[in-house]
Amino acid sequence: MMTGSTEKPIRSVAIIGAGAAGAVTAAAFKAEHYFDRIRVYERRETTGGVWIHDVGPRHPPQVQPGSVAFEIDPPLKVPDNLPQQTDPNHQERYSHTSLYENLTTNTPDIAMCFSDQRFAYGPFVPHYVTKQYIDNYFAQHKTDSFLVLNTTLEDLSKLPPSTPGGFNRWKLTLRKHDPVLDVDLWWEETYDAVVLATGHYSVPYVPYVPGLKEYTAKSPDRVIHSKWYRSPSLFTNKRVLIIGNSTSGHDISLDLLSSVKLPLSQSRRSSSRWDGNGPPQGIEWKPVITEYIPDSGRIVFADGSYLDDIDVVIYCTGYQPSFPFWNAENNGRELYDYRAGRLLRNYQHTFLQDFPSLGMVGLPRVLTFRSFEYQAIALARYWAGREWSELTPVWAQAKWEQARAEKTRRERRKFHDIPWDNGETEEWFGWLYRFAGLGSLSGDGRVPPVLGRDVVWAVENLKKYPEPGKGDEKSANAELDGTVEEDWVIVVREEKDSLAFI
Ligand SMILES: Cc1cc2nc3c(=O)[nH]c(=O)nc-3n(C[C@H](O)[C@H](O)[C@H](O)COP(=O)(O)OP(=O)(O)OC[C@H]3O[C@@H](n4cnc5c(N)ncnc54)[C@H](O)[C@@H]3O)c2cc1C
Ligand SMILES: NC(=O)c1ccc[n+]([C@@H]2O[C@H](COP(=O)([O-])OP(=O)(O)OC[C@H]3O[C@@H](n4cnc5c(N)ncnc54)[C@H](OP(=O)(O)O)[C@@H]3O)[C@@H](O)[C@H]2O)c1
């Protein structure tokens, strides 16, 4: 049965972001042949999102230890009267990507692609092949005409519904940089619905460590985040310390081995699936850092050891989502809890309980492109009134959210991390699949894909790196670096998930 709900006349949809999530969202919405106006706003000059390769900047912004995204990436002030032309913005927006020269994909192509189009080849491809894939995806679906490039969403404020009892609409304040005139043009547009596909790997996270702020102030170029790492050639004969042991920490360490002064030091909080019993040749393992001593340049570790001769520290400690455009005052609440790391009042990581005309695609940490596809189709079917079953009542959505918050907190996991090995990914995909439902023989719209045996086999068996250790070492340093909160139930952290690197 299709619900064909009529009280939500959604005809115009703005998609924010033209990365992989925006690409498949645009395709899913177009396939409905229902919406009058679909636009994809992208702040960069091209499609591709994280797969755009940026060379610079030569002098990256200083790290901000312990700061959360809303402190690092605050909103711009919107001019009073719109439309308006202003001098170009110079505030850092973290829109550069973190790709480095030698980066290849880490997920087999059959599991990384969308269901209707394979990568040019596989299983693991250079970064530019993924960029070409996303660019082509827009062209193949003829959704490139929806693109509005060089255009940043700077403010998102709710508007009243256009019909009594309907969904609220949205006012978007947009800023387009005109590179020829070197000015910013500001204007407003309204849409019935908005999908946020803005990614979550652009604002760097660097943990608080005593003395780090003073250390960077004293030697500004000595500490960088992996976001700004580009090539081993910049580190020839340098003594380098890597912090972190997830994908960036591991991959950048290996990339650097050919150029740096050995040993390369790597500070690890926990082991990963690809660690053996000891470090690879040329690398020395260190525990977490307890203190930087700015005057001497000494870096002290949890086991009491120290390093005095480090030229560059590279923090490979991940990223945090950022929604500087969310106008909490106009919208009556915050969208995201930056300290807890989760969307507030969300359902299935995709819907917002109190904003039924706002959708999210791409926030969970899970099998990437395929999950974007399930989310995008579910939203497109819902807003076209062709979803297979009624959306769960708001009280039950809230119950789902509370149960997940409690479960993930108990298990010391992040709310939006959806593991593969424990079946959560399949359960979540299954929910989105059932909600969207199958199309009718002569109907419009995109059908959610089958999660085929070949995809599942590839996820479980095709590995970019050998996995001798599978991450079974308990987080030995967690207490030392202050990540264990008093009221947490400590559970033994078992093997890291097969897709923990994603
Ligand atoms: C270095 C790196 C390597 C990775 N390697 C892999 C891999 O090998 N395999 C894998 O499966 N996944 C990998 N990932 C994960 C990757 O994030 C996903 O594969 C996927 O490409 C993310 O797509 P997205 O569209 O959700 O986000 P993004 O690609 O980040 O796209 C979001 C887009 O939104 C735009 N945007 C943001 N804010 C605004 C705004 N206010 N206004 C307008 N536009 C805005 C951004 O400019 C960006 O283009 C990697 C991630 C990184 C950082
Ligand atoms: N295709 C590729 O080859 C490639 C290369 C680079 C990055 N990527 C992608 O980029 C994304 C981000 O990966 P990432 O490795 O940058 O980030 P990440 O996966 O979030 O890893 C962050 C790392 O920082 C450590 N860390 C966090 N807080 C810490 C603290 N307070 N003290 C000490 N250590 C701390 C974490 O340790 P714990 O594990 O103990 O929490 C983890 O090792 C992923 O999608 C990844 O797949 C892909």
Question: Which is nearest to 433 in space by CA: 392, 476, 387, 399?
Answer: 387
| Three-state helix/strand/coil letters over 133-197 | HHHHHHHHCCCHHHEECCEEEEEEEEECCCCCCCCCEEEEEEEEEECCCCEEEEEEEEECEEEEC
Residues with Cβ within 8 Å of residue 104, at least 6 apart in sequence: 124, 125, 126, 127, 464
Contact of 140 with 26, CB cutoff 8 Å: no
Contact of 253 with 475, CB cutoff 8 Å: no
Q: What's the CA gap between 452 and 146, in Å, rounded? A: 31
Q: Supply the pLDDT for residue 466.
A: 83
- Ligand 1 site, residue 305, Cβ cutoff 6 A: no
- Ligand 1 site, residue 437, Cβ cutoff 6 A: no
What's the whole-model pTM score? 0.94
Candidate of 317, 365, 416, 494 to mutate for ligand 2, largest count of ligand atoms within 8 Å of Cβ: 317
For the four alpha carbons of 240, 245, 248 and 254, in that order, the dihedral sign comes to positive
Delimit the CATH 3.50.50.60 region(s) of the chain: 12-54+67-203+320-392, 206-317
Give residue 21 CA to ligand 1 midpoint distance, Å. Answer: 8
Give residue 402 CA to ligand 2 midpoint distance, Å. Answer: 27
* Residue entry with tokens 């409690």: 406
Q: What's the CA gap between 156 and 191, in Å, rounded? A: 11
Q: Would you state the structure tokens that stand for residue 475, as one six-digit string?
A: 């987080």
Phi/psi class of residue 78: alpha, beta or left (left: φ > 0; alpha: ψ in -120 to 50)?
beta
CATH code for the structural domain at 206-317:
3.50.50.60
Question: Which is nearest to 349 in space by CA: 413, 298, 417?
Answer: 417
Give the type of residue at 338.
Y
Give residue 204 CA to ligand 1 midpoint distance, Å. Answer: 13
- Ligand 2 site, residue 322, Cβ cutoff 6 A: no
DSSP strand pairing (346-347 vs 151-159): unpaired
- Ligand 2 site, residue 321, Cβ cutoff 6 A: no
Element (H, E) at 39: strand 37-41
Q: What's the CA gap between 351 and 345, in Å, rounded? A: 9
Give residue 106 CA to ligand 1 midpoint distance, Å. Answer: 14
Q: What's the CA gap between 118 and 122, in Å, rounded? A: 9
Ligand that comes closest to the CA of residue 204: 2
- Give the burial string for 183-213 (b: 16+ CB within 10 Å, else e): ebbbeebebbbbbbbbbbbbbbbbbebebbb
* Residue entry with tokens 């969308």: 114
Residues with Cβ within 8 Å of residue 450, at least 6 apart in sequence: 115
Q: Would you state the structure tokens that stand for residue 412, as one six-digit string?
A: 């010391």
Helix, strand, coil percentages for the chain (3-state, nearest 5): 25, 20, 55
Per-residue confidence of the chain (502 residues) as pLDDT tens digits? 444 455 568 999 999 999 999 999 999 999 999 999 999 999 999 999 999 999 877 788 999 999 999 999 999 999 999 999 999 999 999 999 999 999 999 999 999 999 999 999 999 999 999 999 999 999 999 999 999 999 999 999 999 998 888 899 999 999 999 989 999 999 999 999 999 999 999 999 999 999 999 999 998 889 999 999 999 999 999 999 999 999 999 999 999 999 999 999 999 999 998 898 999 999 999 999 999 999 999 999 999 999 999 999 999 999 999 999 999 999 999 999 999 999 999 999 999 999 999 999 999 999 999 999 999 999 999 999 999 999 999 999 999 999 999 999 999 999 999 999 999 999 999 999 999 988 777 778 999 999 999 999 999 999 998 888 665 544 444 433 434 333 333 333 457 888 887 7
For the four alpha carbons of 360, 365, 368 and 373, in that order, the dihedral sign comes to negative
Residues with Cβ within 8 Å of residue 121, at least 6 apart in sequence: 109, 129
* Residue entry with tokens 């973290």: 94
Q: What's the CA gap between 429 and 206, in Å, rounded? A: 32
Q: Would you state the structure tokens that stand for residue 79, as one six-digit string?
A: 């001019």
Query: Which residue's CA is the nearest one to ligand 2's atom 26?
Result: 317
Atom of ligand 2 nearest to the CA of 270: 40
- Ligand 2 site, residue 270, Cβ cutoff 6 A: yes
Give residue 363 CA to ligand 1 midpoint distance, Å. Answer: 10
Bond into 287 cis (ω within 30): no
* Residue entry with tokens 């976001």: 227
CATH code for the structural domain at 12-54+67-203+320-392:
3.50.50.60
- Ligand 1 site, residue 341, Cβ cutoff 6 A: no
Helix (H, G, I), strand (E, B) or coil at 293: strand
Residues with Cβ within 8 Å of residue 390, at least 6 apart in sequence: 3, 5
Residues with Cβ within 8 Å of residue 365, at least 6 apart in sequence: 414, 416, 417, 418, 502
Bond into 57 cis (ω within 30): yes
- Ligand 1 site, residue 201, Cβ cutoff 6 A: yes
Residues with Cβ within 8 Å of residue 77, at least 6 apart in sequence: none
Round to the nearest angstrom and report the end-to-end CA distance of the chain: 36
Q: Supply the pLDDT for residue 162.
A: 85
